[in-house]
């Protein structure tokens, strides 16, 4: 395959709740959650739901712990534009399989019917509509609280990274402009912040993953590279030839096209290599 390189919140009150539940919405494209649920159901790793409280907010989050002897780095995983799906929880499990604590907050907590979360919406379209009604300040505060929680876990070594997909990819880039203690930000097919001042506030390296057939997003890459270079920041995007938007998800489907499948495999390989190079 050909690949192109372009060179705060108050302390959270945590309530641990029950372990893995089986019903959440399907991922952003495709309605069958079965492969992800199968992975989750078969996983030997410890899964749990927690409630992270900050101010008047309660954020539900899914946590997976690795089976390791030492304290582990944490990865904050930001879901796509239709909420916390089984696929995203499966990504968290895959990260834990490779030695990382993974925590995936449901940023639709409180926005669902009767104050519910992603799994309470009638369908993924309703969840998507609600995503775009969220206030950015609330999203950032929720991520802050969950990040603080992740770093405070006894099993954590204090190293924190963030990763997100689609809408979550944009949020991971945004979070890097806000959170100075990140070791890295991983942006999967997400657009960059528009504010130049915000870019100058980034301290962590930002690594991008983009599909060659996803012009809506990938067309922003060269300009983002120029902006980040001007701001004196590290930005290393990679474009996977022929892959579409959402290739990390689409590429693991049983009927995945070759380009998405190759991009999925190469994207995971690169992501894990970068994580492994951070130390901690």
Q: What is the pLDDT along the chain (280 residues), one digit of tens a residue?
A: 434 433 333 334 333 333 333 333 333 444 444 688 888 999 999 999 999 999 999 999 999 999 999 999 999 999 999 999 999 999 999 999 999 999 999 999 999 999 999 999 999 999 999 999 999 999 999 999 999 999 999 999 999 999 999 999 999 999 999 999 999 999 999 999 999 999 999 999 999 999 999 999 999 999 999 999 999 999 999 999 999 999 999 999 999 999 999 999 999 999 999 999 997 6
Asked whether the beta carbons of 45 and 64 are under 8 A apart, the reply is: yes
Residue 91, number of CB atoms within 10 A of its CB: 27
Task: Please give the domain boundaries of the chain with CATH numbers for all domains.
Answer: 3-276 (3.40.50.1820)
State CA 16 to chain mean position distance.
21
Which of 166, 171, 203 has the alpha carbon at shortest distance from 188? 166
pLDDT of residue 80: 97
Look at strands 156-165 and 3-5 and give their pairing: unpaired
Which of 24, 15, 172, 166 has the alpha carbon at shortest distance from 84? 24
The H-assigned helical ranges of 78-214 are: 86-97, 124-131, 136-152, 167-178, 196-200
How far apart are the C-alpha atoms of 31 and 206, rounded to whole Å?
Answer: 31
How far apart are the C-alpha atoms of 104 and 48, rounded to whole Å?
Answer: 11
How far apart are the C-alpha atoms of 52 and 152, rounded to whole Å?
Answer: 12
Kindly list the strands in the beta sheet with 235-240, ordered across the sheet, starting from the edge strand earlier in the chain: 3-5, 235-240, 206-211, 184-188, 156-165, 72-78, 101-105, 57-65, 46-54, 13-16
Which of 172, 192, 203 has the alpha carbon at shortest distance from 271? 172
pLDDT of residue 280: 62
CB within 8 A of 140, min separation 6: which ones?
Answer: 174, 175, 178
Burial of 203 (0-12, 13-18, 19+ CB in 10 A): middle
CB within 8 A of 275, min separation 6: which ones?
Answer: 73, 75, 98, 100, 161, 184
Q: Helix, strand, coil proportions of the chain in percent (round to 5)?
A: 40, 25, 40
pLDDT of residue 1: 42
CA dist list (Å): 180 to 144, 146, 249, 251 = 11, 15, 29, 32
């Amino acid at each position: 395959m050909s690949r192109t390189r372009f060179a705060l919140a108050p302390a959270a009150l945590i309530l641990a709740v029950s372990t893995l539940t089986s019903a959440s919405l399907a991922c952003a494209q495709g309605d069958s959650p079965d492969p992800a649920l199968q992975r989750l159901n078969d996983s030997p790793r410890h899964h749990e739901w927690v409630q992270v409280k900050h101010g008047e907010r309660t954020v539900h989050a899914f946590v997976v712990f690795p089976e390791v002897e030492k304290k582990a780095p944490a990865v904050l995983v930001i879901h796509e534009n239709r909420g916390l799906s089984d696929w995203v929880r499966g990504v968290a499990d895959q990260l834990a399989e490779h030695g990382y604590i993974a925590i995936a907050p449901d940023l639709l907590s409180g926005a669902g019917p009767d104050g519910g979360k992603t799994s309470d919406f009638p369908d993924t379209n309703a969840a998507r509509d609600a995503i775009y009604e969220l206030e950015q300040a609330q999203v950032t505060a929720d991520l802050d609280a969950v990040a603080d929680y992740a770093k405070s876990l006894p099993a954590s070594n204090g190293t924190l990274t963030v990763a997100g997909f689609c809408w979550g990819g944009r949020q991971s880039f945004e979070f890097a402009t806000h959170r100075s203690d990140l070791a890295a930000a991983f942006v999967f097919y997400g657009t960059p912040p528009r504010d130049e001042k915000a870019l100058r506030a980034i301290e962590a390296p930002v690594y991008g993953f983009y599909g060659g057939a996803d012009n809506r997003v990938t067309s922003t890459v060269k300009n983002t590279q120029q902006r980040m270079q001007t701001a004196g920041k590290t930005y290393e995007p990679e474009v996977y030839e022929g892959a579409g938007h959402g290739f990390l998800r689409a590429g693991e489907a049983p009927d995945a096209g070759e380009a998405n499948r190759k991009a999925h495999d190469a994207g995971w390989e690169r992501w894990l290599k970068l994580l492994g190079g951070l130390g901690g």
